[in-house]
Amino acid sequence: MKLLEKFKIGDLELKNRIAMAPMTRSRANANGEVTDLTVKYYVQRASAGLLITEGVNISEQAIGSPFTPGIFTTSQIEAWKKVTNAVHDAEGLIFAQLWHTGRVGHSIDKNGNLPVSASVIAIQGQTHFTSQGPKEYETPRELTTEEVKQVIQDYKQAAINAKEAGFDGVELHGAFGYLPNQFLVDGANKRNDEFGGSIENRSRFVIEVMQALVDVFGADRVGIKLSPSIPYNGMIDSDPNALFSYLISELNKLPLAYLQLMQPMFPIDAFPTWPTDVLTTFGHLFNKTIMVNGGYDRDKGEEEVENGRAHLVSYGVAFLANPDLPKRFELNAELNAPDKNSMYGGGEKGYTDYPFLAQ
């Protein structure tokens, strides 16, 4: 099985081509520190070729949801060291996904501060999970040009902190409607400075962040996740083909570890010109490692690797419910069903209590 073959990214040797996709689990404490339960969670899944953490807040401003971990305080860094040390002891590799939620948040969980974004445009038709239950989205505050440059430095500092915490690399969460995505799409970015307007300007924020991350970690240690055809969180662009073709061509000039592309996961019938298969549309623009994500099972993932369209496949919910997913794929064994009621928040239930095959 090609999914189970070793694969090299620079000097990192992955034991297989199966990655664990980043998934918010909301199990950090009130100070944004991961706990011993988090250590157990990642070690249980260390048979992945690569573990990618849940989104990790790069700063206090970046926080969007309660009980999500950060990497901007000394105590948060020290807590993550327990995770990376344990994963390495289990012969695993782990990247931290760096996260700034932008307008996908609420002042209730931000000490009364409004969320920030590329422009003063609120998310419509959705509610946000807060510590006080679902709430309508607020209109965000627009970041000034100087503040945008500071956020880029916040990403760089988060990468420095991730390196200190022992991570093997970092991934920029540039997908699913969070801050980098808000700068990219013209439905959320109406700026008239160097970070708005043309496709080149709207891409500038992501490219400068990626360069900053590479400056910290070096070649083959920085990845990025993009979702060109996912309208969730108000990510509507008039021409995603042109936007992401430009962006990915520019990213291809950097010595990146990988590009993780999310396939459409929501109906896009209302957007007939949007790409329905992101690998077909954008894969040829990136000549380094490509990881694909979005609703893949064992056979579909194997097919993508076998036909050479992707080098790695990341699995989210399947890995959540099956800590020994690579072994189950090897044996073509039955998978545990995920408990959707325990995905976010809580304790061990739905987090570290899913059975292994041997159990």
pLDDT of residue 184: 98
pLDDT for the residue 264:
95
Round to whole Å and give the CA distance between 229 and 117.
20
Question: What pLDDT score was predicted for residue 358?
Answer: 82
At 239, list the tokens.
Answer: 């021409």
Class of domain 2-342: alpha beta
Nearest CA among 278, 247, 261, 235 for reference residue 117: 235
- DSSP string covering 293-344: ESS--HHHHHHHHHTTS-SEEEESHHHHH-TTHHHHHHHTPPPPPP-GGGSS
Strand partners, 213: none
Cβ atoms 167, 84 nearer than 8 A: yes
Question: What pLDDT sits at residue 311?
Answer: 98
Burial tier of 124 (Cβ tally within 10 Å: 0-12, 13-18, 19+): exposed
Per-residue pLDDT of the chain in tens (359 residues, 90 and over written 9): 999 999 999 999 999 999 999 999 999 999 999 999 999 999 999 999 999 999 999 999 999 999 999 999 999 999 999 999 999 999 999 999 999 999 999 999 999 999 999 999 999 999 998 989 999 999 999 999 999 999 999 999 999 999 999 999 999 999 999 999 999 999 999 999 999 999 999 999 999 999 999 999 999 999 999 999 999 999 999 999 999 999 999 999 999 999 999 999 888 999 999 999 999 999 999 999 999 999 999 999 999 999 999 999 999 999 999 999 999 999 999 999 999 999 999 999 999 999 999 87
Q: Which residues are catalytic?
A: 178
> Which residue ranges make up each domain of the chain?
2-342
Please say whether the beta carbons of 195 and 217 come within 8 A: no
